[in-house]
Structure 1
Amino acid sequence: MVHILLAPGFEEIEALVPADLLRRAGIPVALTSLEGEQVMGGHGITVVVDMELAKVNLTQVSMLVLPGGAHGVRNLSAHPAVSSLIQEAVDREIPVSAICAAPTLLGSMGLLKGKKAVCYPGLEGQLTGAQVPEETRVVRDGLLTTGQAAGSAVEFGLALIEQLAGERKAQEVRHAIHA
Structure 2
Amino acid sequence: MAASDQLSALILIADGSEEIEFVTPYDVLTRAGFSVKSAGVKLKNELYAQCSRHVKIIPDFPSVNEIPDRIVDAANVLILPGGAPGAKTFCQSDDVLRLIREFRNEGKHVAFICAGTTALVASTKASNVEGQASRKCRVTSHPSVKQEIVDAGWEYADEKERVVVDGKVVTSRGPGTAMLFALTIVEALAGKDKRAEITGPMICAETM
Q: Please say whether Structure 1 and Structure 2 have the same fold, judged by a TM-score greater than 0.5.
A: yes
Residue 102 of structure 1: SS of its match in structure 2?
helix
The CA RMSD over aligned residues, in Å, is: 1.6
Q: 1:173 aligned to 177, 190, 198, which one?
A: 198
Q: Is 1:79 the counterpart of 2:90 in the alignment?
A: no
Partners of 1:94 and 1:37 in 2: how far apart?
29
Q: Is 1:108 the counterpart of 2:132 in the alignment?
A: no
Q: Is 1:121 the counterpart of 2:121 in the alignment?
A: no
Partners of 1:122 and 1:113 in 2: how far apart?
23
1:103-135: per-residue Cα shift (whole Å, max 9, x none)? Answer: 122123335855211000142222233222211
Residue 115 of structure 2: SS of its match in structure 1?
coil
- Could you tell me how far 1:97 is from its partner in structure 2? 0.4
Residue 52 of structure 2: SS of its match in structure 1?
coil
Structure 1 residues 114, 89: closer, same or farther in 2, change over 3 A? closer
Partners of 1:69 and 1:106 in 2: how far apart?
14
Which residue is 2:81 aligned to? Answer: 67
Q: Is 1:53 the counterpart of 2:53 in the alignment?
A: no
1:129-155: per-residue Cα shift (whole Å, max 9, x none)? Answer: 322221100011111000110000000
Matched AA of 1:21: V
Q: Percent identity?
A: 28
> How high is the TM-score relative to the length of structure 1?
0.93
Between 168-177 and 112-121, report the one with greater CA deviation.
Answer: 112-121
Asked if 2 retains the 8 angstrom alpha-carbon contact of 1:112 and 1:130, the reply is no
Structure 1 residues 90, 24: closer, same or farther in 2, change over 3 A? same
> How many residues are aligned here?
179
> How high is the TM-score relative to the length of structure 2?
0.81
Partners of 1:95 and 1:86 in 2: how far apart?
9
